[in-house]
Chain A
Amino acid sequence: MIAENTIETTKIWSLLQEVSDPEIPVLSVVDLGIIRNVTATDDEVKIIITPTYSGCPAITRIEWDLRIKLAENGYKNVSIVSRLSPVWTTDWMSEQGKQKLKAYGIAPPNDTQSVCSPDLFVMDEAVQCPLCNSYNTKLVSRFGSTACKAFYQCKDCSEPFDYFKCH
Chain B
Amino acid sequence: MITEKEQLVSFVLHLADDSLVLGHRNSEWTGHGPILEQDIAISNIALDLIGQARNFYQYAAALKADGATEDTLAYLRDAMDYKNALIAELNKGDWAVTTLRQFFFSTSKFYLYQQLQNNSDTTLAAIAEKSLKEVTYHLRWSAEWVIRLGDGTDESNARVKTALEYLWPYTGELITPASYEQAQPGIDFAALKKNWTNHVLQVLEQALLTPPVNDWMQSGGKQGIHTEHLGYLLAEMQYLQRSYPGCEW
What is the interface of chain A, defined by CB distance below 8 A to chain B? 51, 53-57, 83-87, 116-121, 140-147, 151, 167
Question: Which residues between 40 and 95 of chain B lie within 8 Å of chain A, taking CB atoms?
Answer: 40-41, 44-45, 47-52, 54-55
Is B134 part of the binding interface, using a Cβ–Cβ cutoff of 8 Å? yes
Q: How many A-B residue pairs have CB under 8 A?
A: 80
Of the residues B37, B44, B110, B144, contact of A140 by C-beta under 8 Å: B37
Question: B108: shortest Cβ distance to chain A, in Å?
Answer: 13
Residues in chain A near residue B54, CB distance under 8 A: 54-55
Residues in chain A near residue B52, CB distance under 8 A: 54-55
Specify the main secondary structure of chain B where it touches its partner.
helix
Is B197 part of the binding interface, using a Cβ–Cβ cutoff of 8 Å? no
Given A84-B129, A120-B147: A55 in contact with B47 (beta carbons within 8 A): yes
Query: Which residue of chain B has its CB nearest to the CB of A115?
Result: B137
Given A55-B49, A84-B55: A116 in contact with B133 (beta carbons within 8 A): yes
Contact: A54 with B131, CB < 8 Å? Answer: yes
Query: Which residue of chain A has its CB nearest to the CB of B46?
Result: A55
Is B127 part of the binding interface, using a Cβ–Cβ cutoff of 8 Å? yes
Contact: B203 with A87, CB < 8 Å? Answer: no
Of the residues B130, B139, B206, contact of A87 by C-beta under 8 Å: B130
Question: B76: shortest Cβ distance to chain A, in Å?
Answer: 21
Contact: A142 with B143, CB < 8 Å? Answer: no
Contact: B140 with A141, CB < 8 Å? Answer: no
Contact: A55 with B140, CB < 8 Å? Answer: no
Is B210 part of the binding interface, using a Cβ–Cβ cutoff of 8 Å? no
Contact: B110 with A142, CB < 8 Å? Answer: no
Residues 114-127 of chain B, each 1 if its beta carbon lies under 8 Å from chain A, else 0: 00000000100111
Of the residues A116, A117, A151, contact of B37 by C-beta under 8 Å: A151
Residues in chain A near residue B136, CB distance under 8 A: 116-118
